[in-house]
Structure 1
Amino acid sequence: MTKLREPAVFQMDNISFYVDLDRQTLRQTDNPDNEISFIHQMQDMGDHYMLAWDAKTKNAAANSEDGEPLIIPQLSLLDPEGMSEKYRMSVSEMAGKSDFEIIVDQEALAARQNGILPQIDIAGEKFIFDLRLQELRHVEYFFPVISLKSLDLTDDGWHYEAFYEPIMKQVVQLDPKLTEFPDGIIKIKMPNEIGLDPVGTARIYGMSERELLRRHPIQKELKAEVIPLSETQVPRLIRQNREQLQREHEQITRKMKPGKRPRF
């Protein structure tokens, strides 16, 4: 059994904070609800962060001009072991790099900034994701095209999903009255726009590219999750439809049953 690693601790103004790499925050050890964000509440200076410290709230000052300026080391210095494990980079490889350069793949970022659109594997076929046109295009044939409008957002809003026919490479709608599993149909699930193309999302929606990338780095090998129909709501739908057909059959049978014949 793998032993859980203790989070790194940083002392600031005689107060202890856990270094939370997943959330990129400092969390007060004796009051975890008190959290300071490296992304939203500190100024990234490249090789360190600047924090406007409010000793009363033990957090960032509401007005940066009113706070005491404190220098906060990079995450790679606060927790080198954790950063190395999380971003699969040796401590020596991280040396001289900013947190942004460690968290965000710089080659992938340069390619995207030079106009190369992201790609995603859907059931073994590569598709280009074009956020501007709101579509996925086959890499080799540029057809068929999958429109984002044909996909459904999950309840949490972080993924798209749809029923999919791999041979035709098209999203399909299932017959709501089906009583058998449709041949060759699967369900696919993929990230939303932020997960597919954070750079394009930031540009189109006027968001801070750097901040968005810190929270949602570019994924180099995007792949849609393939979900067998047996693990969806389809079996329940088939069962309900079969039960309904059985009830209808029984009703028809009762109506057609002959009455008692008269005796002669």
Structure 2
Amino acid sequence: MENTRFYVDLDRQTLRQTDKPDNEISFINQMQDMGDHYMLAWDDATKNAAANPENGELLTIPPLSVLDPEGMSEKYGMSVSEMAGKSDFEIIVDQDAIAARRNGILPQIDMAGEKFIIDLRLQELRHAEYFFPVISLKSLDLTDDGWHYEAFYEPIMKQVVQLDPKLTEFPDGVIKIKIPNELGMDPVGAARIYGMAERDLLRRHPIQKELKAEVIPLSETQVPRLIQQNREQLQREHEQITRRMKPVKRPGF
């Protein structure tokens, strides 16, 4: 662009200056999506979008499907011929899925083999067949990076459970699950609840067709360490009790 070269980054949906990778231009935030092309107000001094679009030089940028057709085809599972005539939005966001969601059909997620309806308005997951049990999203813990929820889960009861902090054995049948946050579970619902631009949000977080909770064995969590600590504490307490109960040797007369 204007004698400055940029990489096309499909994952971030940006252009990155080849000799200054920190200089990025976002297709979502800094360009105007015209369907079959983008418009960019270019600032030649910064090699980026102009702070005031009225002062920038208008450039026409081809869509991502033209800039990197093979990459788009691989990333979104659509052949190059199928992408022809479609906008980037139509390729990135499943149009049947978004139509269903806009018609009130709530998304679902597989929780250890059972389907649950995602209802962000009520902040809950409801069993898809029986509508009970209900899992409150408030009962789940947000991960440190903020992108997922996780909790200990009992698949037979279909409920989130709290582990005994003093446990000394692995609890029967309990697993740990990890699911996306609201943006990953239902971007349309999240946009409505939090007042975000639906189209921009869907570009970053397209509707996922098959949502499935990640199942994490307890052996890969902090539970083994907790069990070991509790066992060691019990052993110390037992030794203390044994010492107190040991008869005191009395001197002979």
2:249 aligns to what?
Answer: 260
Who is 1:79 aligned against?
68
Match of 1:213 in 2: 202
Q: Secondary structure at the match of 1:69?
A: strand
For residues 8 and 15 of structure 2, the distance between their equivalents in structure 1, rounded to whole angstroms, comes to 5
**CA distance, structure 1, for counterparts of residue 199 and residue 4 of structure 2:** 29
CA distance in structure 1 between the aligned counterparts of 2:23 and 2:170, rounded to whole angstroms: 51
Please name the residue that 1:4 is paired with. Answer: none
The equivalent residue for 1:24 is 13
Deviation at 1:112, TM superposition (A): 0.3
State the alpha-carbon separation in 2 of the partners of residues 63 and 201 from structure 1. Answer: 30
Task: Tell me the SS of whatever aligns to 1:179.
Answer: coil
1:116 aligns with 2:105: yes
C-alpha deviations, 1:92-112, integer Å up to 9, x for none?
A: 000000000000000001000
Once the two structures are TM-superposed, the CA of residue 262 in structure 1 deviates from its matched residue by 3.8
| Match status 1:36 vs 2:28 | no
Distance 1:259 1:151 in 2: 53
Does residue 169 of structure 2 align to residue 169 of structure 1?
A: no
Which of 160, 163, 169 is 1:180 aligned to? 169
CA deviation after TM superposition for structure 1 residue 263, in Å: 3.0
Moved more, 252-261 or 158-167: 252-261
Percent of aligned pairs with the same residue? 88
TM-score of the aligned structures, taking structure 1 as reference length: 0.95
Deviations 1:211-256 (A, max 9, x none): 0000000001000000010000000000000000000000111111
Pick from 6, 31, 43 the counterpart of residue 54 of structure 1: 43
User: With structure 2 as the length reference, what TM-score do the two structures score?
Assistant: 0.99
Aligned to 2:192, the other structure's residue is in SS state helix
1:195 aligns with 2:164: no
1:96-115 pair list within 5 angstroms = 96-115=85-104
1:223 aligns with 2:233: no
After superposition, the CA RMSD in angstroms is: 0.7
Given residue 45 of structure 1, which amino acid in structure 2 is its aligned partner?
M
In structure 1, runs of 5+ residues without a counterpart are 1-11
Matching of residue 128 in structure 1 with residue 117 in structure 2? yes
- The CA distance in 1 between the partners of 2:157 and 2:24, in whole Å, is 49
Does the residue aligned with 2:199 lie in a helix, a strand or coil?
Answer: helix
Identify the residue that residue 152 of structure 1 maps to in structure 2. 141
